[in-house]
Amino acid sequence: MQRLSNSWSLVKASWAVLRADKELIIFPIIAFIGSIIVTITFIVPMVITRMFDGLSDGRGGQVGLYVFSFLFYLVQYTVVIFSNSALMGAATIRLKGGDPTVSDGLRIASSHFGAIVGYALISATVGMILRAIAERGIIGRIVSSLFGMAWNIITYLAVPVLVIENVGPIEAVKRSGALLKKTWGEQIVGNFGMGAVFGLIFLALMLLFVPVIVAVASTQSAGLIIFVIVAYVLLMIGLGLFSSALGGIYTAAVYQYATTGEAGEFFDANLVQNAFRTK
């Protein structure tokens, strides 16, 4: 319960930053819209023309499918990492006492676009390797999950390192792992609490949806059923965007604490210090 309470305190601190700079929510929206555009650009034409059928036939087709998947991952990661870079860059300005704008975030991300694409290339490569391992059966899925978790931990601070320290993607990954190890050491696998908080919220909304949709269905009103489903989907999307914004703000605070020992006026340094510690 203490861990959950600390996690909720971190959510509130991140929310305080978002209240101070409401425009920060723009960056997750950009990532969301960009991801949809990328998906439509890659997937829809192939579904319509049934190109997947040709790609999946034979050994050469499998290679083509992997190439297509890699390109899709690369563009998708570039969009997401660019948006996260803009978010964390702007959030860092606020944590240091400044007053960032959307233009500031976009300027910071744009000035590191080459490094962002490089990091997206690394992420896409790792993603494809983990996918290939996962296709080897149950053991492969377990190994892929473990390596995926390790990769997520090592690269937790890679984006803020990339945009704030002006280094290349490989150095950003190395620096991220070094900062986390130096600051939290062996207890790094402890508490990623903000994700747990939003996970519980998402779970509660899903459980709530079942009785609501059953009750609405009993009215046999097609219009009402569609309205409830659309409202629920929009609520989940909104919550996802909100969670993404707070997560980016919190990552910026973690980076600032790891590099300076201070997390900014909005965050209690003790909470950030214990963010990855097991009790």
Domain boundaries, the chain: 2-273
- Structure tokens belonging to residue 150: 């390790």
List the chain pLDDT tens, one digit each, 279 residues: 555 566 777 888 888 889 888 899 999 999 999 999 999 988 877 777 666 565 555 555 567 677 888 899 999 999 999 999 999 999 999 988 888 999 999 999 999 999 999 999 999 999 889 988 988 888 888 989 989 888 988 898 999 999 999 899 999 999 998 888 887 764 454 445 667 777 788 888 888 888 888 888 888 788 888 888 899 899 999 988 988 999 899 888 888 888 888 877 788 777 777 666 544
Q: Structure pTM?
A: 0.83
Taking only the tens place, the pLDDT of each residue in 190-228 is 445 667 777 788 888 888 888 888 888 888 788 888 888
